[in-house]
Chains A and B, each alone.
Chain A
Amino acid sequence: DSGVTQTPKHLITATGQRVTLRCSPRSGDLSVYWYQQSLDQGLQFLIQYYNGEERAKGNILERFSAQQFPDLHSELNLSSLELGDSALYFCASSVGHRGLETQYFGPGTRLLVL
């Protein structure tokens, strides 16, 4: 158990809909990262927040947005969903902001868009 929690574990929705994925980092970790992993693909970095502020932005679509709240939990909002958005979405956390030292990954949210 990494100490990072993600909810929900599974999500099935229809095209055009909007969903929110939630992540709680490990206690004491200030950075939260979001990744997308499609079937048999590598990890695509989406976005990083550090202590409530956006730190880095990767290949995140304009239909997607995220935020980190004062209690450091984070939410990833996916809107106008398309079939191609079906993937495993991971959240990770770390103490610092560099992101190359240890990142602790949550169990992921498996999203299926029908």
Chain B
Amino acid sequence: GQSLEQPSEVTAVEGAIVQINCTYQTSGFYGLSWYQQHDGGAPTFLSYNALDGLEETGRFSSFLSRSDSYGYLLLQELQMKDSASYFCAVRDTAGANNLFFGTGTRLTVIP
């Protein structure tokens, strides 16, 4: 079967660095995506990793290790506005070609 696991909640201090992990299990694999969703809002795309390594986009970076079926999202210089839910997502390229989102990690940034 397919599964994605993320921590349900993370709390971090403004200005700090936080890492949100995602482990996945799929039959096939295209890559790993990350989305941010503020309360009451729509998800917005953050990053996509198809190959192993680190992708950096401003304060946000995402890492993938296909051999470990593992990825993480790294948020640096945390700001209060980063308080949101963060979802990892994969596509199971075998079988029904479904998209799977993790249950999300709720990040709370405190002063």
Residue ranges of A at the interface with B (Cβ–Cβ < 8 Å): 2, 33, 35, 41-45, 48, 55-58, 90, 92, 98-108
Report B83-111 CB contacts with A as 1/0, cut-off 8 Å: 00001011100001111111110000000
Residue ranges of B at the interface with A (Cβ–Cβ < 8 Å): 30-33, 41-45, 48, 50, 87, 89-91, 96-104
A42-B104, A100-B90 known; A55-B44 Cβ under 8 A: no
- Contact residue among A2, A56, A103, A107 (Cβ-Cβ distance under 8 Å from B97): A56
- Contact residue among A33, A56, A107 (Cβ-Cβ distance under 8 Å from B42): A107
> Residue of B at shortest CB range from A59?
B98
- Contact residue among B44, B90, B101 (Cβ-Cβ distance under 8 Å from A43): B101
- Rounded to whole angstroms, the CA-CA distance of A45 and B48 in the bound complex is 18
Question: What are 7 of the A-B contact pairs (CB < 8 Å)?
Answer: A45-B100, A55-B97, A58-B96, A99-B91, A100-B91, A103-B33, A103-B43
A101 → chain B closest CB, angstroms: 6
- Contact residue among B42, B44, B89, B103 (Cβ-Cβ distance under 8 Å from A100): B89
- Rounded to whole angstroms, the CA-CA distance of A84 and B101 in the bound complex is 20
Q: B48 to chain A: which residues have CB within 8 Å?
A: 100-102
Q: B104 to chain A: which residues have CB within 8 Å?
A: 42
Q: B90 to chain A: which residues have CB within 8 Å?
A: 100
- Rounded to whole angstroms, the CA-CA distance of A62 and B101 in the bound complex is 21
B50 → chain A closest CB, angstroms: 8
- Rounded to whole angstroms, the CA-CA distance of A100 and B45 in the bound complex is 9
